[in-house]
Structure 1
């Protein structure tokens, strides 16, 4: 692997993350979407998707502009496109955008309340951007150090209660805004540490990052308490498909550390990991088999 000075690799990672960041200034998603429709009585399922880059399809297809300025999405196949392609499903609003925090997702939800009010199904991921993913991976990579990794992990764990509180507030708003089913999707483990060290980091540091990811999933699961939302884990489907596995479902371009798709599911990850997990949690009366 090519050697970079720590400051250089941080700049590359930061540039990739910054390319995905969302500015809420002047945002007006409703203006870029088709007008919401009254709830159908003919078996049509109105579907809303929002959230961060894992809901926006990063890692599959190519990078494309989303439905409003500052929003970026992947245009490949994902669990969202699979659900939307069903005969009786109408995806009325797909406002998931890379880089969004829990609070920003809540702000978007407030601007699409007419769509949520008519939605039979809403899916989202949230919480990952509230942690410093780029800093965590950098600190725990082969270009970091044990001390830097421990410090970054401690900061990430310390932030989890605030992440949970913010996620709960966002989910409370969405729950109040929609009468339909809400599925909150978890995150996969990024690394398969059982195969030993890998070019990006040691197996020990990979396990530590996976543990933090597991803690984040628990916080997001707990954030659904007191709401009608259901947490959907994807740890099982992604088992042995992290970075370092023979068949990895996590995208990482070693030749371009600033690739914004890095550390996101591949098309296989979305279709074989996320889609079956989501499909199994959708109320059977909603979808045509």
Structure 2
């Protein structure tokens, strides 16, 4: 066997076939998917504040999908997903991830009210949000999930939830224990509501409360930002560690 032929044969034996690319992946959703708070922002994403440290990019970097698109955007509500984010979806899309619903329920206003107002103000504002989650949010989620399935009928869709915001029953400077408990109550309601609607559409729900357990605000090992003065839009959002140790493991377990 000649030198060239021997080298070629050895390359076939020892190198083997190239690793296949993963499925085409599209990330949708709000600031918890865009990565507000995770730093390393893509300047081209403008006010959407997409972070290269957010879980969609971490999954993309680890799995090398055949294609990747991220249309998640800070402040997005369900209607924004339907109207502005579904362009990259098609019948070849293999994986879709999304967090959505918190802004529909008034997440930012809830947190502002609870930070600046009394316990009663906070409880009343959360009660209003919870009424919305029970009565209106399910239909809005159905609209989003139907639109995703219509455009990407072959995709595996992972709907990721929101973490509880606070570790309860520990000493913590700042808002009262009453406020902490009420805010966590609202997060739990959004998660259970979202999980039920995702299941009804045959989608997978990824519950991040387990990976954030013990790492909420007041834990001493927080995966979330508390109040941030500048930029204020990072407030009450996951840190880079929250994405790598909170969101990514849940996505990896359900992708």
Give the structure 1 partner of residue 109 of structure 2. Answer: 135
Which of these residues, 162, 180, 191, is aligned with residue 166 of structure 2?
A: 191
Deviations 1:145-169 (A, max 9, x none): 1221122012111111211210111
Select the residue among 75, 82, 85 that pairs with 2:51.
75
Pairing 1:102–2:75 present: no
Question: Residue 129 of structure 2 is aligned with which of 152, 156, 165?
Answer: 156
Aligned partner of 2:157 among 142, 158, 182: 182
Q: Deviations over 1:186-237 (max 9, x none)?
A: 00011112223422x1112101110011001111112214312111100100
SS of the residue corresponding to residue 179 of structure 2 reads helix
Cα separation, partners in 2 of 1:175 and 1:71, compared to 1, 3 Å: farther
CA contact (8 A) 1:46 1:120 kept: yes
Other-structure match for 1:45: 23
Show structure 2 runs of 5+ residues with no match. Answer: 1-19
Q: Which runs of 4+ in 1 moved over 6 A?
A: none
Q: Which has the higher helix share?
A: 2
Residues 94 and 152 of structure 1: is their aligned pair in 2 closer, same or farther, counting only changes over 3 Å? same
The answer to whether residue 243 in structure 2 is matched with residue 270 in structure 1 is yes
Query: Partner residue of 1:247?
Result: 221
Assess if the C-alpha contact under 8 Å between 1:182 and 1:230 holds in 2. yes
How many residue pairs match? The answer is: 234
| Residues 112-166 of structure 1, C-alpha deviations (whole Å, 9 max, x = no match) | 3xx332211111100011122232123223x311221122012111111211210
Q: Do the aligned residues in 2 keep the contact of 1:63 with 1:73 (CA within 8 Å)?
A: yes
* TM-score normalised per structure 1: 0.75
* Uncovered stretches (5+) of structure 1, i.e. residues with no partner: 1-41, 283-289
- Note if contact 1:191-1:243 (Cα within 8 Å) is conserved in structure 2: yes
